[in-house]
A and B are shown apart, each in its own frame.
Chain A
Amino acid sequence: MATQVLTNPVNLTISPRLAKNIRRNIKERVIELILMLAALSAVATTFAIVGVLLYESLTFFKAVSLVDFFTDTQWTPLFEDAHFGIMPLVSGTLTTSAVALAVAIPIGTIGAIYLSEFATHKVRETVKPILELLVGVPTVVFGYFALFFVTPMLQKIFPELPSFNMLGPGIVMGIMIIPYISSVAEDAMRAVPMSMREGSYAMGATRFQTAIRVVTPAAISGIIAAYILGISRAVGETMVVAIAAGQQPNLTFNPMESAATITAYIVQVALGDLPHGSIGYQSIFAAGLVLMVMTLIFNILGHWVRKKYRQKY
């Protein structure tokens, strides 16, 4: 159709009122460019980080074989007799994260259900800011809270628990993550349309039945997003575990033992005076790369699960 118009040119002039406004055009372009640059800065930073991690790790992996890296059961890069097995750090990271999630996921989910479906407006408006205050507490405070309060308390129950262990900081990390999970999950549940709840009530369902059987499944993709956020926070958390879990790499999944996580190792080594370019220095980047890949795997997994259960309503 359009070509027909073009091939039959009638002598038409463009009136000044309909002519393109050059000034408006340029202004729009400039604004678009500024917006794009702002969006790109985050992407560029991510790529830069990945680039540096890969580049430095490459040097590291020239000295240490991948097989050793994944199969050696010791991580002692700074010792005379250096070992470069990442697994003790991975086990520490996974164990503390598992403890944290075992605390944060149930409490965070129940909290979200309560706040979204049961709490009155007044209660919600009081409790939410308090919960979110928890996010503002510096993690170093949580670290000493784990070391000097939670662990001694746990030692009353388990007398054989060492002063540095993964259970105490894991639990504290879980408490720290609760507001993230509850707040994102609650937002997802409150986004479920009221008409769906009314449909359930109209069938004679109770509040609890409506919350569990209708609202939760309807919000499941958002709830899973909340869990992914929690996992990422747990895996990447540094101060709490660096302070309270001990800094001895230890290949174990027993939370009653002390161990080091990837993040704890990085902060420990980065604080020392390592010569630039030494193998110890480069081990930081290799560890960082593993951490990033782990987070990425959880995120991809989460994304996939979310997509699978996404509901349209």
Chain B
Amino acid sequence: MVTATTPLKAEARNLNFIYNGGNRAVKNLSMPLYENKITALIGPSGCGKSTFLRCFNRMHDLYPGNKYEGQIVMHPDNTNILDPAVDPIEVRMRISMVFQKPNPFPKSIYENVAYGLRVRDIKNKRLIDEKVEEALKGAAIWNEVKDRLQDLAFNLSGGQQQRLCIARALATDPEIMLFDEPTSALDPIATANIEELMSELSNKLTILVVTHNMQQAARVSDYTAYMYLGELIEYGDTDSIFTHPTRKETEDYITGKFG
């Protein structure tokens, strides 16, 4: 699956992340993110995979005292998005995120999806209508909600809420989508729906997904990275990571001897 022609969408270069208080949660990590591919981050709890993921949309900027070192370069701009001169809001406009627990806003289904457009000051009602429909279709939830777009989003089931959150992230045409354990709060059927959705989405955008579930990583991803204690232990295409891991630690984790 790794071909020389697969273009890079982003890459971490010697990335370090230090939490307020001095805990170095990501250590000297370098890793590529290939365009329109799904890359999975696996590893035991506390290994820094979510911390690493949240570097991509500068989520750590929300809390004082956190520090990035190294670079995350986004292509085709060839810009280090961690550069203090880069506006985190601009970064988040291009790299959207889906969270562990569905977190819809206290608004209608329609307004949840329109949110990203509204904060970008888009006022054209027809354009918003179109985008909302397109995003809900893209997140495979349109048929379930098209007759009740004005209902409160909280009235949806957990799996529907998560697909709504994906639609919300989709509505602004992001280039990269980050998924932070998107199915850990969902039942197996809703999980299967989300996984299928991710595969479909990867036709037009780049996905980085953190998962606790190794089967999920094996099912959905093209590339897999195994992290432990803030370090990248092994990275490769998913098939070879799961069938012939080169590192002993990776093999122990994948086979369930550890973690």
Partners in one complex: yes
Residues of A within 8 A of B (CB): 120, 193, 195-206, 209, 213-214, 217-218, 220, 311-313
Give the Cβ gap from A251 to chain B, nearest Cβ, in Å: 43
Check A200/B89 contact, CB under 8 A, given A205-B119, A311-B154, A313-B154: no
Interface centre among A204, A209, A313 (most CB of B within 10 A): A204
**Contacts known (A311-B154, A312-B154); A204 close to B172, Cβ less than 8 A:** yes
How many chain B residues touch A (CB < 8 A): the figure is: 27
B107 proximity list for chain A (CB < 8 A): 217
A213-B118, A313-B154 given as contacts; is B105 within 8 A of A202 (CB)? no
Residues 103-129 of chain B, each 1 if its beta carbon lies under 8 Å from chain A, else 0: 111110000000110111000000000
The reply to whether A203 and B169 contact each other, CB–CB distance below 8 Å, is: yes
Residues of A within 8 Å of B104, CB to CB, are 199
- The contact sample of 23 A-B pairs, CB cut-off 8 A, is A195-B103, A196-B105, A198-B99, A199-B105, A199-B165, A202-B59, A202-B96, A203-B92, A203-B96, A203-B115, A204-B116, A204-B119, A204-B120, A204-B172, A205-B89, A205-B119, A206-B89, A213-B105, A214-B106, A217-B105, A311-B154, A312-B154, A313-B154
CB-CB under 8 A from B101, the residues of chain A are 195
Inter-chain pairs besides A199-B103, A205-B89, 10 sampled, C-beta below 8 Å: A196-B105, A198-B62, A199-B105, A199-B168, A203-B115, A204-B93, A204-B119, A204-B172, A213-B115, A220-B106
B57 within 8 A of A: yes
Q: With A204-B93, A204-B120 known to touch, is A218 a contact of B154 (CB < 8 Å)?
A: no
Instruction: For chain B, residues 69 to 105, give those with C-beta under 8 angstroms from any C-beta of chain A.
Output: 89-90, 92-93, 96-97, 99, 101, 103-105
Q: What is the CA–CA distance of A303 and B159 in the complex, to the nearest angstrom?
A: 32
Contact flag A198-B115 (CB < 8 Å), given A203-B92, A311-B106: no
